[in-house]
Amino acid sequence: MPDVSASPARVTLFATGLATLAISALFVGMVRDFLVALLLAAIFSAMAAPLQEKVSAAVGGRQGIAAVITLVILLIGVLVPTLAIVFIAATQASDLVAGIGSFIQRLDTDWTTIQLPDWVPFREEIEALGPQLAAKAGELASRLASLFLSVVSAATKGTAHFFLNLFVMAYAMVFFLQEKTTVLAQLARYTGLTIDAQNRLVDRVVSVSCATIKGTLVIGVVQGALGGIAFSIVGIQAAAFWGVVMAFASIIPAVGPSIIWIPAVLYLAFAGETVSAIGLAAWCAIVVGLADNLLRPWLVGREAKLSDLMVLIGTFGGLAMFGAVGLIIGPVITGVFITVWDIFQKALATALAAPVQSSVESNTDGGPSAGKQPGSV
């Protein structure tokens, strides 16, 4: 006969699950405008956990005060300089777009006075096509500047909305930093995995996400800053903007910021600024190039490193889906994606191997064989 006593429990489970899904959907829809801010708060809190521990030890273990101090350090040391650089770069990009027409006209007039050195390959062809090449380069620079302005404008669309999300992120970080159990660990409890699998999932996601963000953003910022300073010294217009572009270009495997500074070196060489061209090439090739090789092993490490292809796809995909904040969210989602599939692969392999292992252990322990009749000696 069917087990009727289980029916009320199943009905209760079904009703509770349905109500949970309904109220969860309502809640997510209600706070959907702040989901990105909350996600960023969780990411930054996980990255700031080591700093939080040091500050907490310095203030006698008072978690609330330590969380506020940690947040202030991050705001002053990271957010304020970032906003200042983005503002300067946006201003320079706007000026670059506005002045690109006169720049191209000036090149058409001045190009006839430029004499390329004899050692330049295809010198005569370059001199003949010079105005057209310069015009195309100017149009490309204008499009890059316009794209940058559109991304910044979309990220800061609506000043009140921008600062409201910033407030929500900062407020959430204070709570996340105080929690001994991270938000990710709390969410992992609902996966149905074992405690050991939950811990591995959380540790792997945090390490991969933090390593990817540090490898993408920190190295990009360093290379962009070094390149922007060099551009400013040699007198290239909109140096801050080009520094930001080099920071973005640093995620491109094998090419990186060289896609920006090599044309700048050629421009200086063709303009007769030979010393500046050589100096810029040496600085960018040695200092900017070595920054990646020196910083990446220290910041990222080997275990948590994602492939350059996955970082590139995740970053561009994040930009396409989330806008400017996709620079952070994209690599994190990529890290979670790789981690979840890795855990699933191991779980699947364990599940497939379990029946065979159980059968072998049964025969080893002297269990009944398949052909043995009951009661036989």
The pLDDT score that the predictor gives to residue 237 is 80
Side-chain-side CA neighbours of residue 75 (13 Å): 13
- In this prediction, what percent of the chain has a pLDDT beyond 70? 70
201 pLDDT more than 60: yes
pLDDT for res 208: 73
Residue 344 has pLDDT above 60, yes or no: yes
Indicate if the pLDDT at residue 126 is higher than 50.
yes
Q: How confident is the model at residue 274 (pLDDT cuts 50, 70, 90)?
A: confident
- What pLDDT, on the 0 to 100 scale, is given for residue 144? 62
pLDDT score at 155: 55
How confident is the model over 43-57, as pLDDT tens digits? 888 778 888 889 988
pLDDT of residue 230: 92
The residue-averaged pLDDT of 294-317 equals 73
What is the chain's mean pLDDT, rounded?
75
Cα distance between residue 230 and residue 261, in whole Å: 10
- Asked whether the predicted pLDDT for residue 333 surpasses 50, the reply is yes
pLDDT at residue number 22: 92
